[in-house]
Amino acid sequence: MKDTKNRIIDSAENLFSQNGFSSTSVRDITSLANANIAALNYHFGSKDRLISAVFSRRIGPLNTERLRILEQYSNDAKDGVPSLQQAVTALVGPALRLSQNDESGGQQFMCLMGRAFSNPNKGIEKDLLRLFEPLAKRFIPIFRHHLCDLPDHDFFWRIHFMIGLMSYTMAASHRLSFISNGTCSMRDPEETIKHLVNFVLSGLLAPRDKKA
């Protein structure tokens, strides 16, 4: 049986993903976790810190895996710089694998991330930026190296669209089967990664509209 702290995190993630952050009360969480409010306050101090713990538990290992793959590509590269395709794969691959791993609660967590992006909250947004900052410091210079001819303005638009595309793909995987009438699905994460990486590369490397 899980300890009280992990039961509270599990219950919070479950309820936040279903009902949102503001609609989920501390009492809702402790009731589902078979715990009391004193235990929540002891382990986390507040609901806001609990929200931060929910994100940290998933994003920390996810980013570690991304950086591990990127480091492997770097070590294999003659000049120590992964290719653009490798950098995109290292960024999106672990997240897409997690999103399709129901045993680890991946789909539930992606629903949670979808809520965080669609209903921005300053506190949550600050936490997410803090968690993703080490990732940005490692990946952005590699993307910039390969897209050195792009002005900053164009470069960051493309990075923004890449992140948005990845987030939508993870959070709305069920829509693929619907719009394709069952022809396509995301059951195979490796196939999804292949299609997403190819599409992202086309966007990153698209000719620049100099009139824009």
Residue 53 lies in a domain: no
Q: In this structure, are 90 and 113 located in the same domain?
A: yes
Q: In this structure, are 77 and 174 located in the same domain?
A: yes
Residue 196 lies in a domain: yes
User: What is d(CA 121, CA 147) in angstroms, rounded to the nearest whole number?
Assistant: 32
pLDDT tens track for 76-102 = 999 999 999 999 999 999 988 888 777
Q: In this structure, are 92 and 160 located in the same domain?
A: yes
Burial of residue 92 (number of CB atoms within 10 Å: 0-12, 13-18, 19+): buried
> Given CA atoms 12, 14, 17, 18 in this order, what sign does their dihedral have?
negative
Give pLDDT, residue 37: 94
Q: Which domain holds residue 6?
A: 1-45
For residue 212, pLDDT beyond 70: no
Give pLDDT, residue 147: 97
Percent of the chain topping pLDDT 90? 62
Q: In this structure, are 16 and 111 located in the same domain?
A: no
Q: How confident is the model over 38-64, as a mean pLDDT?
A: 93
pTM for the model: 0.87
Residue 52 lies in a domain: no
Q: In this structure, are 116 and 12 located in the same domain?
A: no
pLDDT tens track for 149-166 = 999 999 999 999 999 888
Query: Quick check: helix, strand or coil at residue 96?
Result: helix
Q: What is the mean pLDDT of the chain?
A: 90
Q: In this structure, are 136 and 34 located in the same domain?
A: no
Tally: H helices and E strands in the chain = 10, 0
**Count of structural domains within the chain:** 2
